[in-house]
Amino acid sequence: MKPILRSALVGTLAVAALAAGAVPAMASPASSVTASDSTANLSTIQASGAAKTSARITSLNAAIARVTANKALTEADRSAILATLNADVAAMKSLAVTIAADTVVATARADYASIFTVYRVYAVALPQAHLAAAADALTDKALPRLTSAESKLAAALLGKFASKSTPELQARLADMTNQIAAAKAAVDGAAGKALAVTPADFNANHAVMAPIRASIVSAHSAAKLARADARSILAALK
């Protein structure tokens, strides 16, 4: 998500969250700021805010290193992902400072809520980066190699290995062709769709990433079947 848009949303969403008393539930009992706890004092909110922003910065930096090293990502996707992750790191650092400096509980609570509602580091930024990487690894690496193998197997069955060609092997080759097509269709556009999801989209629909994930899982299954077909043909030709 564009940093500017996120910044513009901070105030609006934070106020809305504050009005709804929607301070996120805390995973740790030690941090006592919960959705039902409207009486958390300033120091508690600040401590929790520091922990939450710090955890996200750590996660974001780890993801940045992995995305940078990922050889399957397209350069365009890598650039988009790193822009979001780096912007979120800067935002988390800024929020940590802001929350620590807050002197009014209501303001601290609103700033704290924005960690979640505006940035969605764990719900959107990181998953969308990984989903895009998963999709790119299929579309740019795995499926082209499978297509290449399929062409070579087809040529082998018609050429040097024609004497070993059987209806069963031809059927496996046909299935391989179909599975590759199914995988391509399933994952087509998945990276772009993942990277287009915004925290606002997630706020409106917490299952917004589910169809994207499902399409990648479907592509994985089809690609796996295609590889199994290829392996069995290859074994028969040896």
Partner 1 sequence: MIAASRAGSALGALGLVLALSGCAGQLGSASPASDTSASQSAPSAAPSAAATLAAPSSAADDLAAIKSDLDQADAAQSQSETDLGDADVAASRDDN
Q: Whose CA is closest to 13, among 197, 202, 208?
A: 202
Residue 114 half-sphere exposure, CB side, CA atoms within 13 Å? 25
Count of helices and strands (H, E) across the chain: 10, 0
- Residue 224 lies near partner 1 (rule: CB under 8 A): yes
Residues 128-187 that bind partner 1 (CB under 8 A): 128-131, 133-135, 137-138, 141-143, 145-146, 148-149, 152-153, 155-156, 160-161
Q: How far is the CB of 103 from partner 1 (least distance, A)?
A: 27
Which two structure tokens, joined as six digits, stand for 203?
């706020």
Interacting residues of 45 by C-beta distance below 8 A, sequence separation 6+: 23, 33, 99, 102, 105, 108, 109, 112
Question: What CA–CA distance (Å, rounded) separates 23 from 13?
Answer: 11
Q: 108 or 212, CB closer to partner 1?
A: 212
Question: What CA–CA distance (Å, rounded) separates 72 from 222?
Answer: 19
Q: 20 or 101, CB closer to partner 1?
A: 20
The amino acid occupying position 68 is T
Q: How far is the CB of 142 from partner 1 (least distance, A)?
A: 4
Answer for which of 53, 59, 84, 177 binds partner 1 (CB under 8 A) is 59
- Residue 20 lies near partner 1 (rule: CB under 8 A): no
Q: How far is the CB of 74 from partner 1 (least distance, A)?
A: 13
Contact region with partner 1 (CB under 8 A), list: 38-46, 77-85, 98-106, 117-125:
117-125
Binders of partner 1: how many residues, by CB under 8 A? 52
Question: What CA–CA distance (Å, rounded) separates 79 from 111?
Answer: 28
Answer for which of 8, 27, 76, 90 binds partner 1 (CB under 8 A) is 27
Question: What CA–CA distance (Å, rounded) separates 13 from 27?
Answer: 22
- Residue 213 lies near partner 1 (rule: CB under 8 A): yes
Question: What CA–CA distance (Å, rounded) separates 139 from 104?
Answer: 50
- Residue 217 lies near partner 1 (rule: CB under 8 A): yes
Report the Cα–Cα distance between both ends of the chain, in Å, rounded. 51
- Residue 238 lies near partner 1 (rule: CB under 8 A): yes
Residue ranges in contact with partner 1 by CB under 8 A: 24-27, 59, 63, 66, 70, 72, 116, 120-123, 126-131, 133-135, 137-138, 141-143, 145-146, 148-149, 152-153, 155-156, 160-161, 206, 209, 213, 216-217, 220, 223-224, 227, 230-231, 234, 237-238
